[in-house]
């Protein structure tokens, strides 16, 4: 069961509202998906995520394939039951993790051979296996295996990579058949406009439930990244969800929504929480700074999260410097609350056709605080 309904489109921007229906519930878009790489969003329980109004999480095919294994998870009832999460799950294909292994992997037309980062064991990931793993996990939304070219890369390399991604996408579509999870194709093409267009057209010819922009935030300058997003998102079908992969600063979310993106994911709020960087309406707070040693105030005086209602910057700094586990939990709670509230505010702005006013206020507050 999967469907997408476009419920509202702003007249003066690409910002839009949608509703995704899955077997595990509905998702209001635009939406940010916290990353639960190994079947857990680090430092939080599923009940915590529900209380934070998280609609959907992302899990990682590569990591769950290596440990504890997709067959084991399938025997134990699928990932939803395994991790005690009854809302939607999107799984990536594992391709990005494999390609980031560098010398530990080799790309061929058939698939990718690689060595496990855990024990050095050898594996061969094909488009068919990527779908098999995601299906065994019980994913609601699965991703095609693709090749993510590096930056910088030559035009010829990116064109060759794009053709491989197209072939793999076709094989993934055939492998899924009619009864598998909803399947998203991933548009590659680097920073070359004609290749991005060719990639989008090739995937639309195959036909997918959703479409993603991949291969971004791999070293390209921010201005070039935004230009690529601005050119590429309108190429994707309006009646399918549009997923902007791996971009997750607050600014990324605002800019992506303006261009018509519906779905986002990133490790940034959870990873930065563990590294002591906290998001606020005024910009980032680096909690280890000595300025907070005796600060009795909350992280963000405008925030209503559990952490801000109960704990001071001084206490949070103490926990972080002492490497207490509670630091990870309280920081992660705050950061995800901030991201969930930001997306809710964005959806409210779009429904009232006030997204541009929201964007101006968003940046003004950051500028005033800098």
**Catalytically active residues, by annotation:** 92, 265
Other residues' Cβ atoms within 10 Å of the Cβ of residue 47: 10
Tokens of 82: 């395994």
**Cβ atoms of residues 287 and 268 within 8 Å:** no
Q: Which residues contact 318 (CB under 8 A, 6 or more apart)?
A: none
Q: Which of 92, 188, 109 is nearest to 145 (CA)?
A: 92
Range 267-271, long-range pairs (CB < 8 A, 24+ positions) = 267/35, 267/37, 269/34, 269/332, 269/335, 269/336, 269/338, 269/339, 270/34, 270/35, 270/41, 270/42, 270/43, 270/332, 270/335, 270/336
Taking the CB of residue 104, how many other CB atoms lie within 10 A of it? 14
Cβ proximity of 274 and 332 under 8 Å? yes
- Of 320, 346, 349, give the one whose Cα is nearest residue 334: 320
For residue 109, say if its preceding peptide bond is cis, omega within 30 degrees of 0.
Answer: no
DSSP β-bridge partners for residue 187: 213
Bridge partners (DSSP) listed for residue 122: 115
Please count the other Cβ atoms lying within 10 Å of the Cβ belonging to residue 167. 13
Strands of 122-125's sheet in order across = 105-108, 111-115, 122-125
Spatial separation of the C-alpha atoms in residues 168 and 217, rounded to whole Å: 22
- Tell me 13's DSSP state: S
Query: Do β-strands 111-115 and 210-213 pair in parallel, antiparallel, or remain unpaired?
Result: unpaired
Give the three-state DSSP class for 354. coil
């Amino acid at each position: 069961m999967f469907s997408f309904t476009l419920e509202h489109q702003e007249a003066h921007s690409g910002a839009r509202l949608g509703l995704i229906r899955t077997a595990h519930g509905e998702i209001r878009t635009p939406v940010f998906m916290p990353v639960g790489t190994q079947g857990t969003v680090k430092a939080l329980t599923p009940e915590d995520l529900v209380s934070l109004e998280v609609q959907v999480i992302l899990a990682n095919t590569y990591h769950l394939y290596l440990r504890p294994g997709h067959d084991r998870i399938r025997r134990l009832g699928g990932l939803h039951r395994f991790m005690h999460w009854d809302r939607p799950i999107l799984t990536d294909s594992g391709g990005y993790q494999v390609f980031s292994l560098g010398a530990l992997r080799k790309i061929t037309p058939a698939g990718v051979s690689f060595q496990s980062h855990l024990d050095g064991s050898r594996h061969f990931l094909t488009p068919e296996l990527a779908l098999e793993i995601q299906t065994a996990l019980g994913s609601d939304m699965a991703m095609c295996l693709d090749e993510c070219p590096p930056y910088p890369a030559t035009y010829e390399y990116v064109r060759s990579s794009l053709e491989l991604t197209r072939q793999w996408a076709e094989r993934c579509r055939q492998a899924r058949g009619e009864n598998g999870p909803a399947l998203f194709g991933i548009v590659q093409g680097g920073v070359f406009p004609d290749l991005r267009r060719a990639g989008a057209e090739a995937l639309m010819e195959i036909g997918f439930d959703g479409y993603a922009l991949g291969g971004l935030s791999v070293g390209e300058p921010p201005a070039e990244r935004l230009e690529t997003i601005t050119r590429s998102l309108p190429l994707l079908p309006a009646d399918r969800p549009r997923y902007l992969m791996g971009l997750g600063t607050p600014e990324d979310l605002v800019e992506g929504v303006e261009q018509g993106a519906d779905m986002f994911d990133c490790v940034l709020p959870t990873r930065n929480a563990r590294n002591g960087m906290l998001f606020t309406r005024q910009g980032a707070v680096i909690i280890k700074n000595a300025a907070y040693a005796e600060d009795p105030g909350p992280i963000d005086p405008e925030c209503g999260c559990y952490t801000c209602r109960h704990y001071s910057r001084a206490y949070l700094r103490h926990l972080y410097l002492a490497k207490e586990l509670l630091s990870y939990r309280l920081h992660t709670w705050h950061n995800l609350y901030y991201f969930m509230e930001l997306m809710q505010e964005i959806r409210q702005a779009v429904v009232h056709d006030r997204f541009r006013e929201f964007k101006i206020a968003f940046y003004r507050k950051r500028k005033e605080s800098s």
